[in-house]
Structure 1
Amino acid sequence: MNDRLTASLARLFDEHRIVFWYDAARDMRTAFEAIDLDGVAKIEIANNQFGLKYRMLRQEPDQKFLVFYDGPEPAMQENWLLDVQLATTVFKADQAAIWLSELSLPTAFEEVVRDHTEFYRASSRIADLKRLMQQGDTRTDIRRRMLAVCVGAEGALDTVIEQLLEQLAAGRDEGMRLIERANLSEFFWKQVANAYGYLSDKPDLEDFAIAFFEGAYQLAFGEDAKLKAEALLVFRRWKNNKHYSEAFETLSKRFEGTLKIPHDLKLRQARTLKSIDHFEEIDRHVIRSLVQAMASQTLGAADVLQIIRERRQSHWYATYEHVYQAISHAIEFQQALAEANLSMTSPEEGIKRYVSSWYKLDQLYRKFIFHMQKSGQATLLSDLFEVVENRYTTSYLLKVNDAWQDQVAAMPEWSVRGYPMQRNFYRDQAAEFRRKDQKVVVVISDAFRYEIAEECLRAIRKLNRFDAELKPMISSLPSYTQLGMAALLPNKDLTIQPDGIVRSFGESTQGTSNRERALAQGRTGDRAKAMKADEFMSMRSEEGKILFRDHDILYLYHNRIDVVGDKLTTEERVPEAAEDAIADLTMVVRKLTSANVSNILITADHGFLYQHRPLDETEFSVAEPAGDEIHTRNRRFVVGRGLKATAGMKRFSPAELGLAGDLDVLVPNSINRLRVRGAGSRFVHGGASLQEIVIPVLRVGKQRESDVQMVEVQIISSGRNLISSGQHAVTLYQVQPISDKLQPRDLVVGLYAIDGTLISDEHEVPFDYRSDNPREREMPLKLLLSRDADAFNNQDVFLKLRQRIGKTSRYDDYQSQRYELRRGIPTDFDF
């Protein structure tokens, strides 16, 4: 206590030469005697007033004096030192006075201390209050800052509310209890009433929180609410603050039933909800509405995609991102299917149409299944799945391959004019680099079908200074691993053995070591190496450089899709395996180029058919294979001697397939499967469907110059740049659609005063639109002005688009637009 008394007296002596101290309770003598202030003489009133006055004013006019009296201050008419006292100051040594002195507040603020003594009993609270206080603070300002200290907030009333809501969500009440103990409750609820319009005979924090959610929900729809529009702004800011995310979600779920939100949403259409996200049930309602509308075809594709774009600003979007992605891919699939012409007049036309557009249907279907699985919301998406699965199987997969089967049936031999064959891959493509004495790496990914390669192409092209091109190649038939892998090597007299193993140059091609020996026969003197991609990826950087330095041609074998799809227990995970394969191959490419590899080819042994739903009996071939000898029987092909053609299968001789030996091959028509005990039927390959035999050749190269940029975003202004109400509508425009080399741009949008003060809510907006239609790249926003905007009325303010600097917490201004803020009634939050 002495330290605090000494400090308080020292501050008074900074401004006064003489300080009086009356000990009304006669309990401060010990403290007085312990006081020791440099340059201050301690004297005591004891019937010596005239002597003291003469000493202080005449004898020692420059000396500082602490004048102590053991008793209460005498009445004015009896105080013989009154004239000196009035010219100097009085030190009040009671607790309230000490606190007032510690805060450097004048006696006019005494009630701020005496009415809330419990608050000041902790020195830490006093220190926090001093830190928050500002020059010119009124009594009301001081009490507001006391509220902030009580709850651990840092500023105005909205930050107090945020902290209290966080405590409420966590089942804690220490903030409110301290407010009550400090006698600040009445002041607090009056402030809440003035700011947000919350009125109650018995105000309560949980009751306020319920009203807060209800009012913000009603105001978001532009409906009448008991709370003021300021509540919506504070609600948005709190909801969007990542620090309070858990508290918001907890209270939102707690009050969802109390406010009967599910019932209310039944009366609202999905398109009216836009980005309103106060409750998780809103997103579930939107999703159910979209699924129903798509199943019944009562909502157009553009409308569905627009609603999904708006939902990306929802607090719950991350929770339902895979659901929204599934819906988005489903509507794109339906749109693409509606526009597709699935006919062909020649094999060449069939391949051309597949690689130009039809492959997208396989890709969109696969992406839909992947996101449906990842969402964990199979029940929510069940109706949509039924629609997509039926249309994919019946309206696309079966239809296009029935048409393709007509072309296959008429083929005298297995080849398509104008398209390279897999068995010539080494000679025509890999060896092309060796003929120029350039080194080359070939990555062979098992079951890496064309549509997956197209997505991988885009992923690689997104990398800075990387370029790639994709071309189709026709796989060998039957389209299975042993033959496909052998055909991609230098080969001669490819021969299928009765056990399915393929021989080339008279030797087995099964296994990495045998393939390396075949690779070495490609060009005399070539230093050839074959190895698994995983083995290469586990190498250190220097080891990779040495590997490439010491070899001319390198074959890397990657197996992510086939290893999953070829097992009955895991075949349903093929869509996920495809995503993993793309990620794997992108990393392989990056590592290869870091090892000084400049020529990379990525291809596959075969493609595959995939249908997520277990197959119906009608999708199996009705005909049983027949022949002299049946050696290999697969879901999609049969190998044997003297095989007989049937109505449901086409027979190829070895010569017609470009093979040696004497084993014939039967392939089921279209997408039919053969019955094979214990084998999976959803993921299959070996046949002649477009999805199985159109395989990719990806050529990857590295550029010298940076070639990746971000899309540009503009502010679209209409009319005068004037803000005259409590909200401001603005439209932002993404100038270009994103592409492989034009990347998305994430911006934070808000209104700011000239001194940088944020005067509205903020929006985090991703600009990643792919559409070629400019209207579909527009983003309309509504910004709500805060109370802070009142201080800047009749001044210029700025709409700013800010961009994060790298991964830091700092932002740069990307775009800005000047506006004049001129509102007749600054606090009118009109909608």
Structure 2
Amino acid sequence: MTPPRLVIYQGIKTPDEDPLAEVRYAGTEWKIRLSTLVREALKGELAPARIEEIARQARTIAEAEGALTTGDIVEVRLQAALGSADPIQLALRILADPSDEILEGQGLWEDAWRFLQRAFGGEPQGTGDALRHAVFRHLILVELQEALGASHVSLGLQSRPADRDQRRRARSLLAQWRQNRDPDRLRAYRDLAVRAEADLGLKEAVAWDEQLAELDTVPVLESLALGRVLQLLEEGQLDDAKRLARARRSQSLWVATSVPEAEQWQPCWQAVEALVHLKSELSSASIPHHVSAGQILQWYVQEGWRVDQAHRKLEAALTELREYGPLDEAIRSARIAYEGWLENLLERFTGAVERDGLGEELPRQSEIYRNHVARGDTVTAYIWVDALRYELAKELADAFRGTHAQVDLTAALATPPTITPVGMASLLPRAEQGVRLALSPAGSVEVVVDGIRVHTVQDRVGLVRAAQGEVAEFSLTELLERGEKDIRDRIGSKRLVVVRSQEIDEAFESDHTAAAWQYVKEIRNLLVRATARLAAAGVERFVIAADHGFLVLSRPLGSERTIESPGGEGELHRRCWVGRGGSVSPSALRLPLADLGVAGDLDLVVPRGLAMFAAAGARRFLHGGLSPQELVVPVVTARAHVAGASGGSKIEVSIAGDRITTGVFSASIRLGADLFTTELRVRISARSGSGEEVARVVAGEGYDEESGLVQLRGGKTRVVTFRVTSPLSKGERVTLHVYDTDTDRLLANSRPAEVVTAVGVE
């Protein structure tokens, strides 16, 4: 049988060491001009003019075959020069990449605009920027008209219409371009879009339509979407407002990338989403009627806390806005609604306490040590956090679930009054035997635990030592400043580590509430890092508890919500008075502390509603009284993860272009693929040469907003967006540092990126 004939095409010159020498010797050599081959092979398959074009321009069989796959759209020489036969990629190389030198040098500008006409319609001509602007104007008008219909866009196309295939390609080109996170292509899209929007007068020409909800063609669509969300809020259509706000924030190029406009729109949509969330929670959090105080506390633990968390997140988001602008009225309305809800809750709760007492539905704060710490069978860290409100602990527990095992959150009832000396004493050994309050000769409150006076930090730690033997003690700041070896040496053979944190209380008590809204979130991250350090030093179990919760408001309480002191003999705080005698305003509630489970003969006087006594201190951050927010304290328990194998995983991280030019910038981070680590949660810190943290992640692939962490996958590159948080001077250098969240160990650093132009922070 005669074997089939085989043709081997060699597209290069024969090398000195010819791998095909034996084949060449066994066969025969057949030569034919490529142009002749094209004409003979394609005769009758394509139009004669197209065959001649391919025969004349193709230099290799690969180029000729590439021309066949694109029909008559792509110029053969253009395809060869720019290295792609795909119309979308070829268009991007003309419009977004630095290809001018190639096109100019090979005389291909006419080929370029003819290709763009055939592929996308319109009649663009010219070279360089003029061609790019003409094509882009045509593309965005096609996209807008496809979404809205010609009747919704007052400007018609300035060139001949595009057919269906051309319009489809135009939409596909813009979509792929916007999804491409290459910084140079992103910058090119942004510059062309901003100019086209101005040239075409789109701010006046385009009106809102629901078809624009997920379209981010030009910046003006953000303003239109914002107006629509505010309208939906006013109409009470909260679900529709939430969907639209979430879509803009998560998908829009003008929000979730490093274009300069994101400096305005990312914090704006974050605030809008928080605003909608608060309105939604207020509408669904119906305060129970005609129930006991204990039942109201149970309701708060199950769902009521969500309103307070939504309010705090809104206020934190508002601190990042340059100005409220069109959000002003919606913000004012939401704040008034929250204060009204809070007033209603406080009045119902104090009325129920007056009628029924605090109830037995929640375990007492004084039982926390006995139930969660004393029975520990491993090295345990007992972390006292001043003013860790229950809703904050919800976030902390969620953050722990990514870095710890067996995380649980339960609620306890704080010992009244909800002030630090009483709450901290209630976390100590033997507190379950009874906490007693008395007045000193000077009229100040003294706290006694099972017969022992407890006044200072040393008194508290002394009671723990009496129960546990030697303990290791750290402040949160001290712990974070030490390395694992130093921490391990200090712990030694001790079975209990006490950690003290006052950062939340100090931040709000300073009355710099605007800064405190943001700092509270950072404190949560510091607690996660502190437990990671302790775990790396051998601590296996964690118990985190608080002395009291708090009320925090959008604005200071005014004189109309201020109650005069009861007088008499006692100690006055902003939300409580403890003592004997005096007289009580109708706006206040007086109860014997013994009726609330606290030993002694003193009375407690608290405001019935959203009010405070005329005492010194912050007028927006309040505690001491009887409200679910002040009384419900969290208990977070967790066990350390067994250390994983991330130590051998290679991580690469870099700032796009190794430069920073605006208040937002992007970075890529990649976890190398290996057999042991397929996923890894990391914390990324952006620091200047002086070590100051100057930017934070605000969006990107794998980014979790609640925890501030980024989830990496082996073999995958993540692109995340940073927003500058501290002013940067021209010439400064910023480096990214990547940390393992389980151990807080440094995994990788980026190359330093230069700040090209000074970046301010408003």
> 1:401 and 2:341 equivalent?
no
Contact kept, 8 Å, 1:533 with 1:556, in 2: the verdict is: yes
Which among 397, 400, 403 is matched to residue 460 of structure 1? Answer: 400
1:647-698 Cα distance to aligned partner (Å, 9 max, x none): 2223345645655677654322222112345x32111111111111111111
Cα distance change of structure 1 residues 321 and 13 upon mapping to structure 2, 3 Å threshold: closer
Deviation at 1:352, TM superposition (A): 1.0
Corresponding residue of 2:242: 305
Alignment gaps of 5+ in structure 1: 1-9, 15-86, 90-107, 114-128, 168-173, 707-742, 746-763, 771-802, 812-831
SS at match of 2:472: strand
Corresponding residue of 2:421: 482
Which among 228, 241, 262 is matched to residue 203 of structure 2? Answer: 262
> 1:554 and 2:497 equivalent?
yes
Give aligned-pair identity as a percent: 22
Deviation at 1:499, TM superposition (A): 5.2
Contact kept, 8 Å, 2:350 with 2:589, in 1: the verdict is: no
SS at match of 1:294: helix
SS at match of 2:241: helix
Which among 531, 542, 558 is matched to residue 600 of structure 1? Answer: 542
Contact kept, 8 Å, 1:441 with 1:556, in 2: the verdict is: yes
Deviation at 1:355, TM superposition (A): 0.6
1:5-25 Cα distance to aligned partner (Å, 9 max, x none): xxxxx96999xxxxxxxxxxx
CA RMSD in angstroms comes to 4.2
Contact kept, 8 Å, 2:54 with 2:67, in 1: the verdict is: no
Corresponding residue of 1:192: 116
Q: Distance in 2 between matches of 1:257 and 1:668?
A: 57
Corresponding residue of 1:7: none
Q: Distance in 2 between matches of 1:374 and 1:88?
A: 70
Corresponding residue of 2:134: 207
Contact kept, 8 Å, 1:132 with 1:145, in 2: the verdict is: no
Q: Distance in 1 between matches of 2:536 and 2:290?
A: 44
Which among 303, 322, 328 is matched to residue 382 of structure 1? Answer: 328
Which among 95, 116, 119 is matched to residue 165 of structure 1? Answer: 95
Corresponding residue of 1:241: 180
Corresponding residue of 2:410: 471
1:89-142 Cα distance to aligned partner (Å, 9 max, x none): 9xxxxxxxxxxxxxxxxxx999869xxxxxxxxxxxxxxx99996878799855
Q: Distance in 1 between matches of 2:582 and 2:632?
A: 26
**Partner AA of 1:260 in structure 2:** G
SS at match of 1:522: helix
Cα distance change of structure 1 residues 567 and 141 upon mapping to structure 2, 3 Å threshold: same
Corresponding residue of 2:313: 367
Cα distance change of structure 1 residues 557 and 744 upon mapping to structure 2, 3 Å threshold: closer
> 1:700 and 2:645 equivalent?
no
Deviation at 1:744, TM superposition (A): 14
Contact kept, 8 Å, 2:316 with 2:514, in 1: the verdict is: no
Q: Distance in 2 between matches of 1:304 and 1:348?
A: 35
Corresponding residue of 1:532: 475
Q: Distance in 2 between matches of 1:263 and 1:88?
A: 62
Which among 603, 622, 627 is matched to residue 689 of structure 1? Answer: 627
Which among 107, 112, 125 is matched to residue 183 of structure 1? Answer: 107
Q: How does 1:23-38 map to 2 (within 5 A)?
A: none
Contact kept, 8 Å, 1:459 with 1:586, in 2: the verdict is: yes
Q: Distance in 2 between matches of 1:546 and 1:260?
A: 68
Q: Distance in 2 between matches of 1:658 and 1:810?
A: 54
Deviation at 1:393, TM superposition (A): 0.8
Contact kept, 8 Å, 2:278 with 2:310, in 1: the verdict is: yes
Cα distance change of structure 1 residues 559 and 472 upon mapping to structure 2, 3 Å threshold: same
The two structures have a TM-score, normalised by structure 2, of 0.67
Deviation at 1:278, TM superposition (A): 0.7
1:244-272 Cα distance to aligned partner (Å, 9 max, x none): 1122122222222222222233x323x32
Q: Distance in 1 between matches of 2:712 and 2:62?
A: 29
Q: Distance in 2 between matches of 1:13 and 1:656?
A: 100
User: Could you say which structure has the greater relative contact order, defined with CA pairs below 8 angstroms and 6 or more residues apart?
Assistant: 2
Q: How does 1:768-807 map to 2 (within 5 A)?
A: 805-806=713-714
Deviates more, 1:502-511 or 1:612-621: 502-511
Deviates more, 1:491-500 or 1:338-347: 491-500
Q: Distance in 1 between matches of 2:628 and 2:197?
A: 50
Corresponding residue of 1:4: none
**Partner AA of 2:230 in structure 1:** V
Cα distance change of structure 1 residues 558 and 211 upon mapping to structure 2, 3 Å threshold: same
Q: Distance in 2 between matches of 1:767 and 1:535?
A: 29
Which among 289, 293, 309 is matched to residue 347 of structure 1? Answer: 293
Corresponding residue of 2:224: 285
Contact kept, 8 Å, 2:701 with 2:718, in 1: the verdict is: no
SS at match of 1:199: coil
Q: Distance in 1 between matches of 2:397 and 2:573?
A: 31
Contact kept, 8 Å, 1:295 with 1:387, in 2: the verdict is: no
1:742-763 Cα distance to aligned partner (Å, 9 max, x none): x999xxxxxxxxxxxxxxxxxx
Cα distance change of structure 1 residues 188 and 628 upon mapping to structure 2, 3 Å threshold: closer
Q: How does 1:483-522 map to 2 (within 5 A)?
A: 483-490=422-429, 491=431, 493=436, 495=438, 497=440, 498=443, 502=447, 509-522=454-467
Cα distance change of structure 1 residues 807 and 675 upon mapping to structure 2, 3 Å threshold: farther
Q: Distance in 1 between matches of 2:368 and 2:464?
A: 12
Cα distance change of structure 1 residues 429 and 284 upon mapping to structure 2, 3 Å threshold: same
**Partner AA of 1:249 in structure 2:** R
Give the greater-gyration-radius structure (CA): 1
Deviation at 1:450, TM superposition (A): 0.8
Deviation at 1:194, TM superposition (A): 1.1
Corresponding residue of 1:22: none
Contact kept, 8 Å, 1:560 with 1:581, in 2: the verdict is: yes
Deviation at 1:702, TM superposition (A): 4.6
SS at match of 2:286: coil
Deviates more, 1:447-456 or 1:528-537: 528-537
Deviates more, 1:612-621 or 1:447-456: 612-621
Cα distance change of structure 1 residues 683 and 639 upon mapping to structure 2, 3 Å threshold: same
Alignment gaps of 5+ in structure 2: 1-11, 17-30, 34-52, 151-155, 257-261, 645-678, 682-699, 720-762
Q: Distance in 2 between matches of 1:176 and 1:401?
A: 69
Q: Distance in 2 between matches of 1:220 and 1:109?
A: 37
Q: Distance in 1 between matches of 2:507 and 2:107?
A: 67
Q: Distance in 2 between matches of 1:12 and 1:310?
A: 58
Q: Distance in 2 between matches of 1:402 and 1:744?
A: 48
Cα distance change of structure 1 residues 376 and 201 upon mapping to structure 2, 3 Å threshold: closer
Which among 524, 529, 539 is matched to residue 582 of structure 1? Answer: 524
> 1:445 and 2:388 equivalent?
no
Q: How does 1:426-441 map to 2 (within 5 A)?
A: 426-433=369-376, 438-441=378-381
Contact kept, 8 Å, 1:493 with 1:659, in 2: the verdict is: yes
Number of matched pairs:
584
Q: Distance in 2 between matches of 1:744 and 1:355?
A: 32
Deviation at 1:335, TM superposition (A): 3.4
The two structures have a TM-score, normalised by structure 1, of 0.62
SS at match of 2:294: helix
Contact kept, 8 Å, 1:196 with 1:231, in 2: the verdict is: yes
